Structure formats: structure tokens, C-alpha cells
Amino acid sequence: MIRYSKVADERREAGAVECWLLHGAVGVAADWRAFAKRLAGEKIGTRAVDMWRFLESRPLPLEDFGAVFNADAAGEARSTPKVLLGYSMGGRLALHALLENPHPWRAAVIVSAHPGLADPSEREARRTADAAWAARALTGNWQGFLDAWNAQPVLGAALPRDERATAAMALHRREIARGFIDWSLAAQEPLWERLSSITLPVLWVAGGNDAKFLDLARRAVAAMPQARLAVAPDAGHRVPWEAEEWLARETAAFLTSAGAAASGKP
């Protein structure tokens, strides 16, 4: 049985619940450090997951990810209640985890995620685009790849990574490239008809300035029995960094109301 090293995950002890954080397609666990610190202020512990460790040993198709990831989380020796927060690609991966049963999650926050493309022509176009990104990530100039990725209008400004985090990400070129293939939106069967089977409390988040993903969020929330929408004011796609303090407060309030975390206030 393949074992995945958890050395690169970043854990912050802070309370009676642990929020597992899943980064985006060109990201690393360290991207969550400032957000994790804010959640710690709300008495919520975190585990920022190095998603690339799941692609180090072999391909991992989306249809298999949920079961593998849930087994990884359920295999923890500690019995701390777990909740899930995924951004963009990490949000899509979180949905796959929530659709598996059994799973260890008490509640979930989905941020700027896409439940899936139904149009075959859109999926084929996305497959072609992601194959090009994969080739560039694997063999192109690394800084040029990052600059091109961050220049996409949907993303806005680059993430505020320090030099160590940027260097760490470069070590995962192969896995990031593989992610554009295995975890591409084009490789994902549309989840729209399955969303109703996610019955735990879900907070679906979108930026107020991110029109496309705000529309997707509204549609997704309408399909789920215990979901509600939260719109980040004056934020685009990268809500965890454009509206970090707001998202930490919203997440803490949601987890408390969902019974997944005790109030962090005295």
C-alpha cells in the first residue's frame, strides 16, 4: 500500500477542531500561513495540506482522490474533529472527498470552486489548455510559467509568497504538471447532480467581483440541502488572500453555527 509523506503539511495547534486546508492548482501548503494564523486567533487549528504529495508516487485520477484523501485523514492517530476548506482546485478536490462515504468531515468551506463542465466542447478546450499549462510547468522557464499563470484576468494579483515558499513550489514541478492532467477540470465528471448527496453543513464562498464563480456558487448552494452562500466584498477569485480577515471570521462563525467548533470568544 502506498504511503504518502505528511512532512510537508503545516499544522497549527489552536483549538478543539482542525481545519484541513487544500491549496489551488499552482500553490503550496505555505500559501495558507497567514490565513491559518487568523484562524488560530479564532481558536481553530489548521492543517495546510501539501496536495502534491498525493501525486509524487503515481498518477491519482479525480475519481480515486476522495477515497485516498479521506483514508489519509481518517488514519490520523488523534481524534480531533476535522473540517475541510478547499480553494479553487482544492475546492473541487474537497467536493470529491465529501462525496465519498464514509468520510471524516464535520463541515466544509468551498471557496471559488467549479462543480464541473457539462458542455463537451468546453471540456475539450479546457483539456487542451491544461495540457499546455502542464508542458510549460514541467519543461518551460519556471518564473515565466508563474508570471503567465498569475497574469490570467480571473486570478488578479500574484499571491504574496516568500522566497522559501516559491523555491519549495519549484521542487514540485513534476507534480504540478501532473495535476494539470489528473486533476484538470476537463478530467472531472460534472458534479452538479451529485451535490444534493452532500448533506453536512457547507459554506460556499465566492468573491463579489468574481462574476463567473459567484454564479456557480449560487447554483451549487441551491442544489445542496445544508449549504449557504457567503460573498466576499471587494474580492475576486483569490478570496483567502484578497479577503483573508473576512474569510477567517466567516469560517469561524460558520463552524460554530454548524456545531463543528466551539466559539473562540471568551
Q: What pLDDT, on a 0 to 100 scale, did the predictor assign at position 80?
A: 85
Residue 252 has pLDDT above 70, yes or no: yes
Split at pLDDT 50, 70, 90, the class of 3 is very low
Region 34-47: mean pLDDT is 95
How much of the chain exceeds pLDDT 90, in percent?
A: 83
Cell of 78: 488523534
Q: Which residues of 113-151 are buried (b: 16+ CB within 10 A; e: fewer)?
A: bbbbbeeeeebeebbeebeebbebbbeeeeeebbeebee
Cell of 95: 467536493
Say how many Å lie between the first and final Cα of the chain, rounded. Answer: 45
Region 7-18: mean pLDDT is 87
Give yes or no for a contact between 103 and 39, defined as CB atoms under 8 angstroms apart: no
* Cβ count within 10 A of residue 73: 17
Give yes or no for a contact between 12 and 40, defined as CB atoms under 8 angstroms apart: yes
Q: Helix (H, G, I), strand (E, B), or coil: what is residue 82?
A: strand
Cell 459567484 belongs to residue = 214
Split at pLDDT 50, 70, 90, the class of 169 is confident
How much of the chain exceeds pLDDT 70, in percent?
A: 94
CATH of domain 10-119+190-257: 3.40.50.1820
DSSP β-bridge partners for residue 12: 46
Residue 174 has pLDDT above 50, yes or no: yes
- CA triple 38-41-43, angle to 5 deg: 120
The residues, any chain, with a CB within 8 Å of residue 184's CB and separated by 6 or more, are: 126, 127, 130
Give the Cα separation of 33 and 252 in Å (integer): 16
Residue 53 to residues 31, 69, 180: CA-CA distances in angstroms?
16, 11, 15
For the CA atoms of 18, 20, 21, 26, the dihedral, rounded to the nearest 10 degrees, stands at 150
Region 33-50: mean pLDDT is 95
Residue 265 has pLDDT above 60, yes or no: no
Q: What pLDDT, on a 0 to 100 scale, did the predictor assign at position 77?
A: 67
For the chain, the structural domain boundaries read 10-119+190-257
Average pLDDT, the chain: 92
Q: What pLDDT, on a 0 to 100 scale, did the predictor assign at position 166?
A: 81
Residue 84 DSSP label:
E
Q: What pLDDT, on a 0 to 100 scale, did the predictor assign at position 6?
A: 65
pLDDT 10s digits, 59-76: 999 999 999 999 999 988
Q: Which residue has the higher pLDDT, 265 or 43?
A: 43
Q: Helix (H, G, I), strand (E, B), or coil: what is residue 231?
A: strand
For the CA atoms of 179, 186, 98, 236, the dihedral, rounded to the nearest 10 degrees, stands at 80
Residue 159 DSSP label:
P
- Give the lowest-confidence range in 2-11, 102-111, 216-225: 2-11
Split at pLDDT 50, 70, 90, the class of 161 is confident
Give the Cα separation of 47 and 104 in Å (integer): 14
Region 6-35: mean pLDDT is 91
Residue 2 has pLDDT above 50, yes or no: no
Split at pLDDT 50, 70, 90, the class of 8 is confident
